[in-house]
Structure 1
């Protein structure tokens, strides 16, 4: 397999890295919008609410990208599962925000930021070597005594 073929097959990892950075940056933007709203700029609550929809969409893109890294590149399953958990948490976060349950909304936002950071760090440190088409994900392990 040529170097170009290997790079061409790594597109799921490039997608994961891009999505993870966008999720992290948008999570930071959410925190900034919330902070500015608290300082008295009431118009930013509308921006904060609208941006929550963007963050939700980005977390689903990240989940799909992490699943592709797992399936196509033989990466670990946990980033796909963690990305799905992140998408669910962002949905819960939206619900808490819309109902003004700030006692849950603010701490959950901190957790979301932490998980988004962990996934972005993983995406940029993971290295993949795509397996040739037709090979199974993992070879069976034979135990001999």
Structure 2
């Protein structure tokens, strides 16, 4: 298995699992465990870092082995969604924060599926 795609697979799985953890933290906060709001906020920072690392991994896949270019745009969009999500959450705009979470989860799920079905073309360096 090529290193750039293996890196993307690891990162996107971590991102997807952390997105599920973020939803669990939100659900527990909403049911009354207010201390988990701080955990939810801290975990948002981790999600942003993972999204940024995904952008870098997508660039590496493209540059190192001529992989497709669209994952760079998709991971960049994911990073923008996460940063927007953080802003909405900090502003307590739940009418946008909650639906955007679904978009983030859907995008992460699609990227995860793609990463495990992507196979470099013979002759690619990646």
1:75 deviates by 1.5
TM-superposed deviation, 1:77: 0.9
* Distance change >3 Å, CA 75–CA 41, structure 1 → 2: same
Number of corresponding residues: 124
Q: How does 1:80-95 map to 2 (within 5 A)?
A: 80-95=72-87
User: What's the RMSD between the two structures over aligned residues?
Assistant: 1.1
Higher helix share: 2
Structure 1 gap segments, 5+ residues each: 1-6, 133-145
With normalisation by structure 1, the TM-score equals: 0.82
Which runs of structure 2 are paired with 1:11-90 in the superposition (5 Å)?
A: 11-90=3-82
Structure 2 distance, partners of 1:108, 1:48, is 15
Compare CA radii of gyration and give the structure with the larger one.
1
Contact preservation (8 Å) 1:72, 1:130: no
Gaps of 5+ in 2: none
Post-superposition, which runs of at least 4 consecutive aligned residues in structure 1 deviate over 2 A?
Answer: 129-132
